[in-house]
């Protein structure tokens, strides 16, 4: 069973349709899941408050090496903190979330993802430099660059758009809005 975490801000129905999971914010259901997806749209500060009751459950899932996918704001919440509001992320990945500077925001629309490692299971059967759909004004700055598995160029600026560490995966784009490539990625996650 895949638990799709409901923080009150996300595109749950399309994710659920793609992976056949359950939408929940119940810590017991989250810890009993085989895999977890944390989708998110909106403010880091607000989402951080919503995390407080389920942070322990999410950490338990990770400690059991169960696959975990953060989508957009869900990816950002994997990190420690953000320039976007007060509050702490889950802190599973070291680093912070920062706002784009000197470029038009939000970064919205279709853009390429340049995968830097060939064997990322999420990208099995997806060509490198494929297009995915983005909507965001902030991006992650990991302390350890080794977790960056893909990046995207925006206005002559490169930012991490895919991160992975063990069974933890994060994507800055919205696979649920990214047509065939996005559905393939979610299907790959479902099969992990």
Q: Annotated active-site positions, please? A: 72, 174, 176
Q: Are 26 and 33 in contact (CB under 8 A)?
A: no
DSSP string, 37-96: EEEE-S-HHHHHHHHTTTHHHHHHHHHTT--EEEEEHHHHTTSSEESSSS-B---SS-EE
Burial class, 20, CB count within 10 angstroms (exposed 0-12 / middle 13-18 / buried 19+): exposed
Q: Which of 136, 143, 169 is nearest to 36 (CA)?
A: 169
**Distance between terminal CA atoms of the chain?**
12
């Amino acid at each position: 069973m895949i638990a799709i975490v409901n923080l009150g801000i996300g595109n749950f129905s399309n994710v659920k349709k793609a992976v056949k999971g359950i939408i929940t914010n119940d810590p017991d259901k989250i810890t009993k899941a085989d895999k977890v997806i944390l989708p998110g749209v909106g403010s880091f500060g607000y989402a951080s408050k919503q995390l407080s009751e389920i942070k322990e459950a999410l950490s338990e899932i990770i400690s059991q090496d169960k696959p975990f996918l953060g989508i957009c704001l869900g990816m950002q919440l994997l990190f420690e903190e953000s320039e976007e509001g007060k509050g702490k992320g889950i802190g599973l990945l070291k680093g912070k979330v920062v706002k784009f500077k000197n470029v038009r925001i939000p970064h919205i629309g279709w853009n390429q993802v340049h995968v830097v490692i060939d064997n990322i299971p999420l990208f099995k059967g997806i060509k490198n430099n494929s297009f995915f759909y983005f909507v965001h004004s902030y991006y992650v700055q990991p302390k350890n660059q080794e977790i960056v598995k893909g990046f995207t160029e925006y206005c002559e600026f490169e930012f991490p758009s895919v991160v992975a560490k063990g069974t933890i995966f994060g994507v800055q784009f919205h696979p649920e809005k990214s047509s065939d490539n996005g559905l393939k990625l979610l299907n790959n996650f479902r099969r992990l």
